[in-house]
Structure 1
Amino acid sequence: MADNWVETTAGDLRRWADERGEKVDGQGAHLLFDLAAREMGLEGPDALTPGALRALLLEVFPETVVAGADEVPSVLDTLRAVAAFLGDTGAVTAERAAELAAEIDRLAPEFAAVVAETDSAERQVAAEVVAGLMEADGIPLDDQDAVEEWMREFEALPDEERYARAEDYLRRTEDLVVPPVRLAPAAELADAARRSGLTAEVRALAEWTGERVLTELDELTAADAEAAVAALGLATPRRLPGVEVGDQTDLPELDRLWWAATEAEVIRAEGGKAAPGPALPDLGSGDDERALRVWLRLLDSVAVPEHDPSDGLDAIELVQNELTGVLIHLYEQEEPATPGELADALLGHVAEAYEISDERSLATAVRDALTLELDDLARWGVVEPAGDGGRALTPLGVWGVRELLLSDGFTAPVVGELAGAPAAELVAGLAWHRPETADEEIDGWLASHDVKDAAADLLDVMRGGGPGARNLAAAVLHRVGPEAAPVVRAAQEHPLVSPYAALWLNAAGDPAGRELSRAEYLWVFVDTVAGMLETAEPEEAVAAALVDAPPGAEMREMVDELWRTDHPGVADVLEALGDHHPDKATAKAARTAAYKARSAHAAGNGGV
Structure 2
Amino acid sequence: MRTWFEPDEDEEFEAAKALLVRRCLTWAGERRLPVEGVIVDAALESRHRSRDGRVCFWNARQVRRFLLEWIPHHVVASREVLDAAPDSLTTMFRYLAEAGLRDPRGATPAELEAAVDATAAEYPAVLDDPDRQSVATFWTRTALDHGVDLTDGKAVARFRRDVDAGRVDYDADLLDRLVMARFFESGPDEERAFPQPPVTLPPPAELTAAAARSEVVRQLVALADWTGSGGRALTGTGNLRLTDARELAALLGTGEQDLRARSAAELPKVGLLVAWAKAARLVRVSKGRLLRVAKAAPLLREPERLWSRAFESFFDLGAAIGASRSPLARLFDEIVDDALNSVYGMPAPMPVARLAEPILLACEDYLGFDDGVWREQVRQGLDSTFEALAALGAVELSHGLADELYSSDLDIDDHDLPPDARARLRARLAEPSPLVRLSPLGVRAVRDRLLAEGRDAPLVGELAGAAPAELLGMLAQHYPQEQAEEELRRWLAANGGSVEPLLDAVRACPFRSRAAALLDTLVRLHADGRAMLPRLRDDRVLGPIALTALVDAGTVRPEQLSPREQLSLMAEGLLNLLELGGPQQVVAQLAEVAGREASEIVAAVANSDHPADVAMAEFRSLVSVPARAPRHRLRMPDGHAPGSRGSRSRRGGRGRRRG
Q: TM-score, normalised by structure 2?
A: 0.51
Is the deviation greater in 474-483 or in 496-505? 496-505
Amino acid in the other structure paired with 2:248 = A
The answer to whether the aligner puts 1:178 opposite 2:176 as a matched pair is: no
The answer to whether the aligner puts 1:294 opposite 2:306 as a matched pair is: yes
The answer to whether the aligner puts 1:499 opposite 2:548 as a matched pair is: yes
Q: How many correspondences in the alignment? A: 428
Amino acid in the other structure paired with 1:232 = L
**% identical equivalent positions:** 22
Residue aligning to 1:475: 521
In 2, are the aligned partners of 1:505 and 1:512 still within 8 Å (CA)?
Answer: no
Stretches of structure 1 that go unaligned for 5 or more consecutive residues are 1-38, 41-57, 74-108, 532-559, 567-599
Task: Report deviation, 1:276.
Answer: 5.5
Q: 2:483 aligns with which of 437, 441, 453?
A: 437
Task: Report deviation, 1:251.
Answer: 5.0
Task: Report deviation, 1:422.
Answer: 2.0
Q: How does 1:82-101 map to 2 (within 5 A)?
A: none
Q: Output the CA distance in 1 between the equivalents of 2:45 and 2:233.
A: 53
Residue aligning to 1:157: 133
The answer to whether the aligner puts 1:490 opposite 2:540 as a matched pair is: yes
The Cα offsets for residues 406-450 of structure 1, whole Å up to 9 and x where unpaired, read as: 333333221111122123422443323233212211222344263
The answer to whether the aligner puts 1:232 opposite 2:188 as a matched pair is: no
Q: How does 1:53-452 map to 2 (within 5 A)?
A: 62=18, 69=25, 120=40, 123=43, 129=62, 131-132=64-65, 149-153=125-129, 157-158=133-134, 160=136, 169=188, 171-172=190-191, 174-175=192-193, 177-210=195-228, 211-215=230-234, 220-223=239-242, 224-225=244-245, 227-234=247-254, 244-245=262-263, 252-267=268-283, 269-270=285-286, 272-273=288-289, 274-275=291-292, 277-280=294-297, 282-283=299-300, 285=301, 290-305=302-317, 313-318=325-330, 320-321=332-333, 322-358=335-371, 360-385=372-397, 388=401, 390-430=435-475, 431-447=477-493, 448=495, 450-452=498-500
RMSD value, Cα: 5.7
Task: Report deviation, 1:206.
Answer: 1.4
Q: 1:483 to 1:407 in 2, by over 3 A?
A: closer
Q: Output the CA distance in 1 between the equivalents of 2:546 and 2:536.
A: 14
Q: Output the CA distance in 2 between the equivalents of 1:324 and 1:371.
A: 15
Task: Report deviation, 1:204.
Answer: 2.1
Q: Output the CA distance in 2 between the equivalents of 1:255 and 1:67.
A: 62
Task: Report deviation, 1:61.
Answer: 10
The Cα offsets for residues 237-290 of structure 1, whole Å up to 9 and x where unpaired, read as: 9xxx99953xx766554343224323434335545551354434544x4xxxx4
Q: Output the CA distance in 2 between the equivalents of 1:161 and 1:251.
A: 58
Amino acid in the other structure paired with 1:256 = L
Amino acid in the other structure paired with 1:185 = P
Residue aligning to 2:428: none
Q: Output the CA distance in 2 between the equivalents of 1:292 and 1:429.
A: 31
Q: TM-score, normalised by structure 1?
A: 0.55
Q: Output the CA distance in 1 between the equivalents of 2:124 and 2:135.
A: 19
Q: 1:183 to 1:269 in 2, by over 3 A?
A: farther
Residue aligning to 1:35: none
- Higher RCO (C-alpha 8 Å, min separation 6): 2
Q: Output the CA distance in 2 between the equivalents of 1:398 and 1:391.
A: 13
The Cα offsets for residues 204-240 of structure 1, whole Å up to 9 and x where unpaired, read as: 2112222314559995544344553354342679xxx
Residue aligning to 1:458: 506
In 2, are the aligned partners of 1:212 and 1:275 still within 8 Å (CA)?
Answer: yes
The Cα offsets for residues 288-344 of structure 1, whole Å up to 9 and x where unpaired, read as: xx4322211111112443669xx9840441573311211111114232101222212
In 2, are the aligned partners of 1:456 and 1:487 still within 8 Å (CA)?
Answer: no
Q: How does 1:514-593 map to 2 (within 5 A)?
A: 564=593
Q: Output the CA distance in 2 between the equivalents of 1:565 and 1:167.
A: 52
Task: Report deviation, 1:182.
Answer: 0.9
Amino acid in the other structure paired with 2:273 = L
Task: Report deviation, 1:472.
Answer: 4.9
Q: 1:151 to 1:279 in 2, by over 3 A?
A: farther
In 1, are the aligned partners of 2:69 and 2:187 still within 8 Å (CA)?
Answer: no
Aligned-partner SS, 1:202? helix
Amino acid in the other structure paired with 2:435 = G
Q: Output the CA distance in 1 between the equivalents of 2:635 and 2:490.
A: 42
Q: Output the CA distance in 1 between the equivalents of 2:224 and 2:188.
A: 42
Amino acid in the other structure paired with 2:133 = L
In 2, are the aligned partners of 1:382 and 1:396 still within 8 Å (CA)?
Answer: yes
Q: Output the CA distance in 1 between the equivalents of 2:463 and 2:303.
A: 28
Q: Output the CA distance in 1 between the equivalents of 2:299 and 2:255.
A: 26
Q: Output the CA distance in 1 between the equivalents of 2:469 and 2:38.
A: 16
Is the deviation greater in 498-507 or in 204-213? 498-507
Q: How does 1:33-52 map to 2 (within 5 A)?
A: none
Residue aligning to 2:622: none
Q: 1:178 to 1:59 in 2, by over 3 A?
A: closer
Amino acid in the other structure paired with 1:385 = L
Residue aligning to 2:168: none
In 2, are the aligned partners of 1:66 and 1:119 still within 8 Å (CA)?
Answer: no
Q: Output the CA distance in 2 between the equivalents of 1:414 and 1:397.
A: 14
Aligned-partner SS, 1:182? coil
Q: 1:252 to 1:459 in 2, by over 3 A?
A: farther
Aligned-partner SS, 2:397? strand
Amino acid in the other structure paired with 2:480 = R
Q: 1:413 to 1:143 in 2, by over 3 A?
A: same
Give the structure with higher Rg (CA): 1
Amino acid in the other structure paired with 1:228 = L
In 1, are the aligned partners of 2:68 and 2:123 still within 8 Å (CA)?
Answer: no
Q: Output the CA distance in 2 between the equivalents of 1:601 and 1:250.
A: 83
Q: Output the CA distance in 1 between the equivalents of 2:378 and 2:511.
A: 52
In 2, are the aligned partners of 1:505 and 1:513 still within 8 Å (CA)?
Answer: no
Amino acid in the other structure paired with 2:382 = L
Task: Report deviation, 1:201.
Answer: 1.7
Amino acid in the other structure paired with 2:296 = A
Q: Output the CA distance in 2 between the equivalents of 1:63 and 1:148.
A: 30
